[in-house]
Amino acid sequence: HVIRSPRDLSCRVRTEWWLHVALLCVPLVAVYLHVPQPQLSRALHTWRATGRSFSFRGNSIFYKEAVGPVGSSDTVVLLHGFPTSSYDWHKIWEPLKQRFHRVIAPDFLGFGFSDKPRPHAYSIFEQASIVEALLSHLDLAEQKVNLLSHDYGDTVALELLYRSEQNRSGHLAINSLCLSNGGIFPETHYPRFLQKLLKDCGFISPLLTRLINFHLFSRGIGEVFGPYTQPTEAEHWDMWTSVRFNDGNLVLDSVLQYINQRLTHRDRWVGALTSTLTPREYIPHGQTSPTLVHRSTISILDEHISHYPQLEDPTGFMNAYLSFINSF
């Protein structure tokens, strides 16, 4: 018969206590990591219901299209940023319809209401091919289009510009190009800490994508808006819902490889931008390149406007863009 000391008994009690805590935490963590997707708001539901989709290499690609005045023949293609969706353009959708005959806004693969396959090697090249395929699907492959892009969409636009300049098969005919806050010069772009973790932490990254929740997301998004132009609670939820749709949070680490791609293919994309004769506008926040300033129309908005100018100051953004688009 073994007689245990009070110290042994105390250690055993503590061990059993931690075991019970761990057993209780396991289902709680499991529930946390499988939080149901948020319900679509009425605005997001309407956006989705009034959109369409087409198939690209077995994946469904969502897009919005609107037809404006009969007297105009101009087409504008809107290329959204990371990590959101075509809904980023909803505040300027109606003004764009008044100026352009056709307004087209896809959700890139891995974003918004498009499919979000995993595992998948997401790339800027594939996203550019999706845009080309969409315009071909809409019988616009031979028509000149205006590209209006933001953030991630800027790099997609530069790949489309490169293909156009090189007269690649299936390329778009680009009438004008407007870029906004895309970090297109890798040497002057500094990814946020969480972005670095997600794109560079290997096998840990998939776990991190499951740990991102609304509060962490909204805090990060809020930091890239201006101090006086913060999203409302409902707007935060709309952005987060578009990310969570089809488990999009689980592909964030794969999509973020575009940051590394920009560095690898800098000469290709920056070279296309600095050598083209296509009319260009840049709506910047922060540092810009002297080369770009010298060869482009630069539109500076209010100093309090930050990374999402089309959402923070839709009127100022539209005025700047229309001034540019009507200048040639």
User: Domain with 71 in it: what CATH number?
Assistant: 3.40.50.1820
Query: Which one-letter amino acid corresponds to residue 57?
Result: R
Please tell me the predicted confidence (pLDDT) of residue 79.
98
Please tell me the predicted confidence (pLDDT) of residue 60.
98
| 327 phi/psi in degrees, rounded to 5 | -90, 0
Distance in angstroms (rounded) separating the CA atoms of residues 252 and 102: 31
Question: pLDDT at residue 297 above 50?
Answer: yes
Residue 270 falls inside a structural domain: yes
pLDDT confidence of 281, banded at 50, 70, 90? very high
What pTM does this model have? 0.87
Residue 227 falls inside a structural domain: yes
- Look over the chain and give the mean of its residue pLDDT values, rounded to a whole number: 87
Average pLDDT over residues 36-43: 94
Which of 61-65, 109-113, 281-285, 324-328 has the lowest average pLDDT? 281-285
Q: Which helix (H) or strand (E) holds 137?
A: helix 124-137
Residue 193 falls inside a structural domain: yes
Residue 318 falls inside a structural domain: yes
Residue range of the domain that includes 262: 33-326
Residue 13 falls inside a structural domain: no
Structure tokens at 46: 């309407």
Instruction: For 142-209, give the DSSP string.
Output: TSEEEEEE-THHHHHHHHHHHHHHTT-TT--EEEEEEEES---SGGG----HHHHHHHH-GGGHHHHH
- Which range, 121-135, 185-199, 209-223, 269-283, has the best average confidence (pLDDT)? 121-135
Domains held by the chain: number: 1
Residue 28 falls inside a structural domain: no
How does pLDDT run across 184-241, given as a tens digit for each residue? Answer: 787 777 777 677 777 776 777 777 888 889 998 999 999 999 999 999 999 999 999 9
Query: Which one-letter amino acid corresponds to residue 233?
Result: E
ω into residue 206 within 30 of 0, thus cis? no
Question: pLDDT at residue 287 above 70?
Answer: no
- SS3 of residue 51 by DSSP: coil
Question: pLDDT at residue 6 above 60?
Answer: no
Residue 135 falls inside a structural domain: yes
Distance in angstroms (rounded) separating the CA atoms of residues 218 and 223: 9
Residue 18 falls inside a structural domain: no
